[in-house]
Structure formats: structure tokens, C-alpha cells
Amino acid sequence: MRKKQAGFTLMETLISLVILLGVSAIVMSGLVQMMWTQGTITNRTEMHTSVRSATELLQQEIGQAGKMSLPPTPPGTAWAMVGPAVAILPAVGQTTLDVNFNVNDSLGNPVLFEGEWVTVEAGPPPAVCLTCGREAVQLTCAVGPGSCPLPSNTWRVTFYYDHAPIAIPGTGTVGVPISIPGAFSGGIIPPAAGVMANPPAGYAGYPDFPAGYPVAPALNKGSTGTVLKLFGDVNGDGNMVYVEYTCVPGTPANPGFLYRNQVNFWDSQVIPALDPSMIVLTGVLRNPNDANGNAVPCFTYQLQTRDGVLAAAHDLAFVTDVAVTLTVQTANPDPQTHQLQQETKALLNVSPRNVYDAFDFATLDYSNRIQPTPPLIKANILLSY
């Protein structure tokens, strides 16, 4: 008898292939859907990461704006008033002298500026100098207000206590130790003319200058809705910098950028032009309108003033809060919808704590704790472009 042949029939093979193809299609569909979902997540993650990095940097630098500090001292050195000795005239109870300091940055540039308040220590101990005393003094220009725009180590000062140089312990410096009190009132450069819908009474824009100052007001050079201007020791390392954040919104077809531009304002008076190396955020779009249909700027300011119409001229205009609103889109389309994803990030209450401290000093009339904006910024950098 012939052996029975084993194997699948043609029909069985076709049915098996159909089942296998169906299962494979389901698996492949799931894999494709997972890839699309992963692409969506990756797009949003990249967008969130870039926005978070930019806003964290903004928060840190806005919070530090207005911080006042002196450069680190070289080894074996102390920052001091190095001469001459100060002796008060008994008949008037004060004396005015041109005095010298030894304060320089790492490049050897002087950093003390006109209008700055400096705390001069007592000097010799009371047993040696009964009329010596610690005091805050203001540096003035010998040839008139506004005529000394650059930092210097020689300034005219009015004293109310004697100050005799001493050998400062632990250093090779002979002089009277000094320190810098307070904070910059204009650490966030106050808004330009027309930026605020409802500015404080008498505020017309920034910068302004007192009567007789050799620089004309330029009220449209302050911070704006697209350019945030700030300065101070924003990194806490003793280096004073001037920083501009420039928001250039675009369209979904041609998105814009957020730029960060920085200069060391003791040795640079010109802001460089924007270039791609300064970009801190890509894909920036115009913000959606608010509930009333008004355009929402990238930067909005809360301003407090003292001294009425002279607030800007006397550097008594304080930005105590900055709101940051940024709308961005992903770099690549969503794999599922084939549309670019968009998101608006709003930081509504970013407070520059040092500027707020200066405002607190102003409300208490502690004028010798309110540091004015250096002329190198107010009269040079802001007006240089």
C-alpha cells in the first residue's frame, strides 16, 4: 500500500498567510502609532526644554539685576581710599577733598563712577582717632555734574569725619578700607516713553537727566515690550555687566528668536549688533492677544517712582516686577497632525530683589543706599545706538 502523504494543503497555507499578514498589520500599525506618539512627545519635550532654559536664565538675571559689588581684590590687596588723609575743618564741621582710590577690575580699569555712594570705614581705632567715624559719601565730579562720564579712581568727596590712612591688616595696602552699600535703583532699566499704558504720574520715559546736565534726555531709550535692559552683578562674581534681551517674534512660516546681548560696561561703551551666537530661544511667535483684544508684549513692567516728575532724572524710578510672556512653536511638525505645535509660557511675577531693596530704601529716605545708574550706561551705552 502507498504511504499517506503529509503536509498542508494549498488552502491551509493561504489561510495561514492571511492570518499572519493580519497580525503583522496590527503590530506594524501599533509600532507606527508609537513612533508618531514618540515624535509628538520628542517635539514637545524639545520645545519645553528650550523654553524652560530661556525662562530660567531670565528669572535668574532679572532676580539678580541691580546687585552692586566691587571686583574681587588681588592677593595681598584691599580696596581702600589711599589718600590723602581727611581732616575736618572745625569751623564748618566738614571738608571737601579730591581723594584717590585703588579699585580696578581684572583688566586694570577703574570702576568707581560719578554719583556712586561709598562707605568709608573709620580708619584708626577710637583710642587713636576720636573724631574718626564710618560714613557713606557720594563721589562727585570736580568740574561739574555729568562732566565725568567714565569710571575713575579720583573723585571729589565731602566728608564729615576724619579719615587717616592705616596699614590694613593682612594686606600690603595703606589707606582707609571702603565698601559699597545698597543696590542700583535702575538695575532693570525703566521703560521708555510710551511703553506703559498707565505710567506713574509725572513719568515720561527713560533716560532723563537733571537740569544743567550736559546730556539731553532720550526718553525712548529705556526698556520696551520687546527689549529688556538690565545691569548689575547678575552672576554674583563681582563682574558688572549690562545685558539686553531682545524678543523678535515671527510668523509660523518664519518664526523669530530671543537674543541675549552682554557687555562688560566698565570697558565697553558700544553694544554689538545681534548675531546668531546670541540666540537663546528659537521658534518665537507673536503672543496671542489678551481678553480685551490687546497685543501682549514679550516684556511688561511694574514701575514705582519717587520724586514725581524728577523720578527718572534723579534715578528714583524702580522696576519692581517684570512679566515675561513668550510664545514658541516646535522645530518640526507633529507626525500625527502634520502641524507645528505651539505653546505660550508666561512668567507673571519676576521680581528683581535688589531693585526692590533700593525701592524700600527710598520709601525710608535712605538716599545713601540707593545707587544711581552709572553715567557710562545712562549717558553712553543707552544712547550709543
Task: State the CB neighbour count (10 A cutoff) for residue 264.
Answer: 14
Residue type, 211: A
Given the C-alpha cell 562674581, which residue does it identify?
Answer: 237
**Lookup: cell for 46:** 524639545
Q: Kindly report, residue by residue over 145-176, the tens digit of the pLDDT.
A: 999 988 999 999 999 999 989 999 889 999 99
pLDDT in tens, 3-24: 566 677 788 788 878 888 888 7
Grid cell, residue 267, equals 570697558
Can you tell me the distance from the alpha carbon of 41 to that of 225, in angstroms, rounded to the nearest whole number? 32
Give residue 41's pLDDT: 63
State how far the alpha carbon of 95 is from the alpha carbons of 80, 148, 278, in Å.
19, 21, 49
For the chain, how many residues are written?
Answer: 385
Residue 311 · residue 200 · CB < 8 Å: yes
Report the pLDDT value the prediction gives residue 237, as an integer from 0 to 100. Answer: 87
For 146, 163, 279, 338, 348, the CA distances from 345, given in Å and listed in that order, are 42, 54, 18, 23, 10
Q: DSSP character for 318?
A: E
**CB distance 229 to 244 below 8 Å:** yes
Confidence of residue 296 (pLDDT cuts 50, 70, 90): very high
Per-residue burial over 157-194, b = 16 or more CB atoms within 10 Å of its CB, e = otherwise: bebebbbbbbebeebebebbbbebbbbbbbbbbbbbbe
Q: Where are the alpha helices (DSSP H) in 326-373?
A: 353-363
pLDDT score for 365: 92
Q: Please give the distance of CA 67 from its chain centroid, rounded to a whole number.
A: 10
Residue 45's pLDDT is 63
- Structure confidence at residue 40 (pLDDT): 60
Burial of 343: CB neighbours in 10 Å, binned 0-12, 13-18, 19+: middle
Relative to beta strand 370-371, strand 183-184 is parallel
Residue 260: all three cell numbers together: 541675549
- Minimal CA–CA distance to 204: which of 319, 356, 363, 313? 313
Beta strands 166-167; 174-179: pairing state: antiparallel
CA-CA distances (angstroms) from residue 234 to 59, 297, 332?
11, 24, 34
Q: Where does the pLDDT of residue 238 fall: very low under 50, low under 70, confident under 90, or very high at 90 and above?
A: confident
As a dihedral over the C-alpha atoms of residue 51, residue 270, residue 99, residue 169, rounded to 10 degrees, the angle is 40
